[in-house]
Amino acid sequence: MSFVKGLRCRECGKEYPARLQAGCEDCFAPLEVDYDYAAISKSLTQERIASRPANLWRYRELLPLEAEPVVGLASGWTPLVRADRLARKLGLDAEQALRDAIDRFSSRFRHVELALAAEGRAVSDASADEQERLWQAAKRAEGDRMGDPAGSARREPIAGGSEPSEGSEVK
Ligand SMILES: [Zn+2]
């Protein structure tokens, strides 16, 4: 059931058999799992994924599994939560910081989709490497647009207002 072809260096492309290995022996770059996408595309559809339970294993064809998972069966679908105390320490609006993070991810996905659509292609037609390159390009474009990584979450000073004192609980 495994669709894993092996491991491949992200930098130099050197291929390795699927085994426990931290990095490339030649250039020390990280390795990624090389999947048989042609075989996966014959059996995996969006409808099939959507029909499965809402957990990580619905993507099993795209994971380096040798057999059906037996532990961590409820993994995935972890909700995003506001980091109120961290946001306060950084002078950010926690709710806005969370929304900004979601927006950045949505924006990167749109960037990947649009870049491929401009070539008349769908995301499913692009290799993992290609999707990764477009994702990284979207991240770089973000960095160029926003000099401040905190974005709009940066709190405006409250004129005459009182900040919560250090160590107070956030409701
Ligand atoms: Zn390498």
User: pLDDT exceeding 70 applies to what percent of the chain?
Assistant: 84
The rounded Å distance from CA 8 to ligand 1 centre is 8
Structure confidence at residue 163 as a pLDDT band (50, 70, 90)? very low
Say which residue the tokens 């647009």 belong to: 145
The rounded Å distance from CA 119 to ligand 1 centre is 30
Task: For residue 17, give the amino acid letter.
Answer: P
Give the model's pLDDT for residue 154.
56
The rounded Å distance from CA 127 to ligand 1 centre is 19
Domain ranges of the chain: 4-62, 84-153
Helix (H) or strand (E) holding 6: strand 4-9
Going by C-alpha positions, the residue among 111, 124, 129, 108 that lies closest to residue 29 is 129
- Summarised one tens digit per residue, pLDDT across range 127-154 is 888 889 999 999 988 877 665 454 556 5
- How confident is the model over 79-92, as a mean pLDDT? 93
The rounded Å distance from CA 126 to ligand 1 centre is 22
Give the model's pLDDT for residue 92.
95
The rounded Å distance from CA 31 to ligand 1 centre is 8
Give the model's pLDDT for residue 29.
92
- Summarised one tens digit per residue, pLDDT across range 37-79 is 899 888 889 999 999 999 999 998 888 887 888 888 888 888 8
Is it the case that residue 25 has pLDDT exceeding 90?
Answer: yes
Structure confidence at residue 165 as a pLDDT band (50, 70, 90)? very low
Task: For residue 96, give the amino acid letter.
Answer: Q
Instruction: Label residue 94 left, alpha or beta by phi (over 0 means left) and psi (-120 to 50 means alpha).
Output: alpha
